[in-house]
Amino acid sequence: MAREVKIITTEDGSHSLFVPELNESYHSFHGAYRESIHVFMLYGLETWFTRNPERYPIRIFEVGFGTGLNAWLSLVWAEQFKVPVLYHTIEPFPLEKEIYSKLNYTEVDTSIYHYASYFNRLHTAPWNEGSVISEYFNMKKDLITLEEAVLYPTDIIFYDAFAPNKQPELWTKEMLAKVTDTMNPGAIFATYCATGQLKRDLKDLGLEVETLPGPPGKKEMVRGVKGRMRDEG
Ligand SMILES: C[S@@+](CC[C@H](N)C(=O)[O-])C[C@H]1O[C@@H](n2cnc3c(N)ncnc32)[C@H](O)[C@@H]1O
């Protein structure tokens, strides 16, 4: 399925996509790149690694591959730290080459520009099968909705669906349960969303829920942890 999207530039200079049909963008207008670093890298992957430095490969599941920004930043992290990452992601609306080839994420931070070619590889990797993308990063990218997807045991969830008011079916307690049921002990659920309903649902589903400072321009975000937290981070 293809859907009309328009490239926009967010406040930190990085691109995002706007979907006219939903009147919604893929990322925060205050900065797509900064949001991804803050919500998913800092409070997701890096927190997991600080708390569980011996547990790898790290299994990440992402809802919505989209631009591939979270996948690429995770790949860069895996290569820099030399820690194997198994990345499972799903996407029912893959982007055309005409769109993803114009995205400027690999130009934001010149210190990691040498990983730029992997961005393209993430997009050209085949759907519905596992691919070795780089030495420390394997990915399985499924062309499917969350409703239909088969999920695997996971250490970190990047819950990056469109906002609850735009796509409520991805934020029901049943849908969240489908995802949180896959979480290993200590696993992290990270999302930019911070609604009271989400926090209540994640608590009901057995997670310890933290409200953390959001990325620039957003007051809060949410992180849930399965089981006991080992330390702060
Ligand atoms: C907020 S965007 C984030 C995308 C991506 N993580 C990124 O950083 O570019 C939400 C993504 O979820 C995808 N999506 C839409 N409906 C979905 C569904 N039912 N199941 C899974 N993903 C869906 C959209 O196509 C879009 O790529």
β-pair partners for 169: none
Which residue's C-alpha comes closest to atom 27 of ligand 1? Answer: 66
How far apart CA 195 and CA 163 sit, in angstroms, is 10
Instruction: Report the separation in Å between the CA atom of 84 and the middle of ligand 1, taken as the mean of its atom positions.
Output: 24
Rounded-to-integer distance, Cα 232 and Cα 219, Å: 20
In the numeric block, the tokens 């055309």 are attached to 96
The pLDDT of residue 10 is 98
> What one-letter code names the amino acid at 112?
I
pLDDT at 233: 47
- Ligand 1 centroid–CA 146 distance in Å is 9
Residue ranges per structural domain of the chain? 32-226
The answer to whether the Cα torsion of 175, 176, 182, 188 is positive or negative is positive
In this prediction, residue 17 carries a pLDDT of 98
Q: What is the secondary structure of 139-187 as a DSSP string?
A: EEEE-S-TTT-----EEEEEE-PSPTTT-GGGSSHHHHHHHHTTEEEEE
**Ligand 1: which of 72, 96, 160, 221 to mutate, judged by most atoms within 8 Å of the beta carbon?**
160
Out of 3.60.15.10, 2.60.40.1510, 3.40.50.360, 3.40.50.150, which CATH number does the structure's domain 32-226 have? 3.40.50.150
**pLDDT digits (tens), the chain, 233 positions:** 679 999 999 999 999 999 999 999 999 999 999 999 999 999 999 999 999 999 999 999 999 999 999 999 999 999 999 999 999 999 999 999 999 999 999 999 999 999 999 999 999 999 999 999 999 999 999 999 999 999 999 999 999 999 999 999 999 999 999 999 999 999 999 999 999 999 999 999 999 999 999 999 999 999 999 986 455 44
Partners of residue 213 on adjacent β-strands: 220
- Cα distance between residue 157 and residue 179, in whole Å: 8
**pLDDT on residue 2:** 79
Residue whose structure tokens are 């010149």: 110
- Give the pocket of ligand 1 (CB within 6 Å): 26, 63-64, 66-67, 69-70, 90-93, 145-147, 160-162, 170
C-alpha torsion angle, residues 90, 93, 99, 100 (rounded to 10): 10
pLDDT attached to residue 232: 46
> Strands 207-213 and 24-25: what pairing?
unpaired
Alpha carbons 188 and 157: distance in angstroms, whole number: 6
- What is the reported pLDDT for 228? 60
